[in-house]
Structure 1
Amino acid sequence: MPDVSVVIPTTGRPSLAEAVVSARAQQGVSVHVVVVCDLAEVPTSVAELRGQIDEIVCTGGGRRGSFARNLGVQHAAPDSHVAFLDDDDAWLPGKLAAQLPALERLADEGWLPVVSSRTLQRKAGGNPLPSAVPTTLIADGALPEDYLFRRRHLGVGRQSLPTSTLLTTADLARQCRWDESLPRHQDWDWLVRAARIPRAKIVQIEEATAIYTVGSPGSISASADWRTSWDWARRWEGVWAPETFSDFIAAQTLRYAVQARDREGVREMVRAIRRNSPPSARNAVLAALGLVPRSALERVAMRRSRVVDDPAALRTGGSR
């Protein structure tokens, strides 16, 4: 019986091949690979990988990532855990073997666990940076929104819980469905809601277990769409701590409004901050960085470290 069902949503991008191969290459763990095509039919790029995929299902097209992940969970193997992998990312060979002991220990203690990890980051089409990120892991018992949004670090080392690092139990994966109405912040939303389920617990292991791709072509996270972010954030106004809410607004929605040069958006975000709490200095700086093109910021951040040129570093997930 597989230990882990791997859910990979895709629109058939060429990068899917690397993701599938990295899931199939997991050491010491049996996997059940489920590829969910957000298309009406299976594209050639997926059909060519049939020998390495256990199940291929289609959404019918245009249903987005959350619907695809929910459908993938429905096709998980019986009695297996569930892990999520984006089609532009890849896993290191020991990813699941490193996370499963933490997951099973917490499950034995009666928790509904979500286990994340550090990653190695790369620009689309490039090699990974050598240093594992984030710099700071989520503290025991911390709410994900406080960890992710309060006093955010600048640069690639900022707090993160990427989708492609997430491993959980089938029980939690079925209890906490991904919100299919959201075009953006799907992963953050899932984590925020998962943390509010009784006995749920989110942890991160220190090892880097995945290669996370920044700036993939067509990524919605690269757009300066402050309205979509605001639509999501205001669901949580009055639920999150005021300091957390204002820090999110400053670093995300206000920054996007500044980037889009949208005066209406800037005024509305400033009003939202005034209703809650002054943002931290770090997040205020992030808001001001909306004046700088995102692509330029990514280039500067990614150049701060040398790329990995030693294959052994990738195999171990270590840094040099």
Structure 2
Amino acid sequence: MSIDALIPSPAAAGTSTGHPSVSVLIATAGRPRMLRDAVRSIVEQDYPGPLEVVVVFDRIDVDPLEDVAVPAGVELRTVPNTRSPGLAGARNTGLHAAAGQIIAFCDDDDVWAPGKLVRQMGLWAEHPGASAIAGGIRIVSHARTTERHPQPVATFEELLVDRMVEIHPSALICRRADLFGPVGLVDEELPSSYGEDYDLLLRLARHAPVHSVPETVLTVRWDRPSFFREKWGDIAEALTYLLRKYPEFETTAKGTAEIAGQVAFAHAARGDRREALRWSRAALRRDPGQLRAWGALAVTTGLVSAERLQNAVANLGRGL
């Protein structure tokens, strides 16, 4: 099956090339050097179809990025966030501005590997029923570089059990028609936009399985401060929101325990001992081996600081 068979509708721009048009959305809030690295890694892709990059500036002045060289056949646009402040609103601003049939995301501190789009679109031609295509990632932390590769196919039920952080939003491509149709846009009701990538991934996988190429298609930078670092109250609120939003979590004790363990750790890190203990107990009742819950207890009892534990896990290419 040819690549253009993925999306038979001729309505979107660029169909005369025989390849679906692709829009890559980047939301940014103040990492100018890293942003330029991200943009360059995208505009230099060897994808033969129409390609545009839409950079959305959230709560900061728009930078026209005039110093970034853009090859012929590629369009670079910079726009302000006109929706709710934060990552979810910025991504939806980009979605409304995008013209491509295929939507891809990239965080402003990540870098695409050469050939990413061609490899992913080739796999989608082989599996046109997929809701999205991801790929392997390289995580760069302060201590080491770690390779993480998703399983070839991930279903909604599997993603309820395991977040599968190796399916990274900056590696994901999906159909614009699905986002404006059965899947829906990025959820702007999520507190502080935390976990919006997992929420969207769950909805994509509920629509149809997510496939992944075996190659590494993305470099993820964990050697810089996160916007969510130490925003523990926001994290706890957002994860609790996700548990309410997806009652299907109750079908898997392990999946519920994983989220509950994250909530427990967030409460422990912010010093709320009562809530940390309550959520830890809830997690461990469902899964006695839930490590995040045990980590929350260790922080609550003073055995280790949240920052030290978080750094140790990040250096292994994982997150809490």
TM-score (norm 1): 0.76
Pick from 203, 221, 244: which aligns with 1:193? 203
Q: Which residues in structure 2 correspond to 1:173-252 (within 5 Å)? A: 173-175=179-181, 176-182=184-190, 183=192, 184-197=194-207, 200-214=208-222, 216-220=224-228, 222-225=230-233, 226-237=236-247, 239-252=249-262
Q: Could you say which residue in structure 2 is the equivalent of 1:35? A: 55
Q: Could you say which residue in structure 1 is the equivalent of 2:155? A: 141
Pick from 79, 103, 118: which aligns with 2:136? 118
Q: Which residues in structure 2 correspond to 1:156-175 (within 5 Å)? A: 159-175=165-181
Task: Check conservation: 1:254, 1:269, Cα contact below 8 A.
Answer: yes
Q: Displacement of 1:105 after TM fit? A: 2.5
- Unaligned stretches of 5+ in structure 2? 1-13, 15-19
Q: What is the one-letter code of the residue matched to 1:71?
A: T
Q: Could you say which residue in structure 1 is the equivalent of 2:43? A: 24
Task: Check conservation: 2:30, 2:60, Cα contact below 8 A.
Answer: no
For each residue in 1:57-105, what CA deviation from the matched residue of structure 2 results, as whole angstroms up to 9, or x when unmatched?
A: 1114862111111221222234x31110000111111211221112233
Counterparts of 1:289 and 1:211, CA distance in 2: 32
Q: Which moved more, 1:254-263 or 1:176-185?
A: 254-263
With a CA cutoff of 8 Å and minimum separation of 6, indicate the structure with the bigger relative contact order. 1
Q: Displacement of 1:171 after TM fit? A: 1.6
For each residue in 1:258-277, what CA deviation from the matched residue of structure 2 results, as whole angstroms up to 9, or x when unmatched?
A: 22231231244246448x72
For each residue in 1:10-32, what CA deviation from the matched residue of structure 2 results, as whole angstroms up to 9, or x when unmatched?
A: 12322111010011111244421
Q: Could you say which residue in structure 1 is the equivalent of 2:80? A: 58
- Unaligned stretches of 5+ in structure 1? 150-157, 306-320
The percent identity for this pair of structures is 24
The alpha-carbon distance between structure 1 residues 75 and 84, as it changes in their structure 2 partners (threshold 3 A), is same
Q: Secondary structure at the match of 2:200?
A: helix
Q: Secondary structure at the match of 1:9?
A: strand
Counterparts of 1:194 and 1:290, CA distance in 2: 35
Task: Check conservation: 1:3, 1:29, Cα contact below 8 A.
Answer: no
Task: Check conservation: 1:38, 1:61, Cα contact below 8 A.
Answer: no
Tell me whether 1:280 sits opposite 2:289 in the alignment.
Answer: yes
Tell me whether 1:69 sits opposite 2:79 in the alignment.
Answer: no
Counterparts of 2:123 and 2:138, CA distance in 1: 20
For each residue in 1:133-157, what CA deviation from the matched residue of structure 2 results, as whole angstroms up to 9, or x when unmatched?
A: 14x52645353533534xxxxxxxx
Number of aligned positions between the proteins: 284
Pick from 100, 103, 106: which aligns with 2:124? 103
For each residue in 1:274-293, what CA deviation from the matched residue of structure 2 results, as whole angstroms up to 9, or x when unmatched?
A: 8x723434454454464644
The alpha-carbon distance between structure 1 residues 299 and 282, as it changes in their structure 2 partners (threshold 3 A), is closer
Counterparts of 2:296 and 2:174, CA distance in 1: 33
Task: Check conservation: 2:113, 2:217, Cα contact below 8 A.
Answer: yes
Counterparts of 1:179 and 1:281, CA distance in 2: 28
Counterparts of 2:48 and 2:122, CA distance in 1: 11
Q: Displacement of 1:6 after TM fit? A: 0.6
Q: What is the one-letter code of the residue matched to 2:78?
A: I
| Two-structure CA RMSD over aligned residues (Å) | 3.1
For each residue in 1:163-203, what CA deviation from the matched residue of structure 2 results, as whole angstroms up to 9, or x when unmatched?
A: 10111122223222000122211101111122223xx2212
For each residue in 1:17-53, what CA deviation from the matched residue of structure 2 results, as whole angstroms up to 9, or x when unmatched?
A: 101001111124442111111136413xx44346535
Counterparts of 1:83 and 1:281, CA distance in 2: 33
Q: Secondary structure at the match of 1:102?
A: helix
Q: What is the one-letter code of the residue matched to 2:116?
A: K
Task: Check conservation: 1:114, 1:169, Cα contact below 8 A.
Answer: yes
Counterparts of 1:41 and 1:260, CA distance in 2: 32
Tell me whether 1:11 sits opposite 2:32 in the alignment.
Answer: no
Pick from 110, 114, 121: which aligns with 1:89? 110
Q: Could you say which residue in structure 2 is the equivalent of 1:263? A: 273
Counterparts of 1:54 and 1:66, CA distance in 2: 21
Pick from 242, 261, 264: which aligns with 1:254? 264
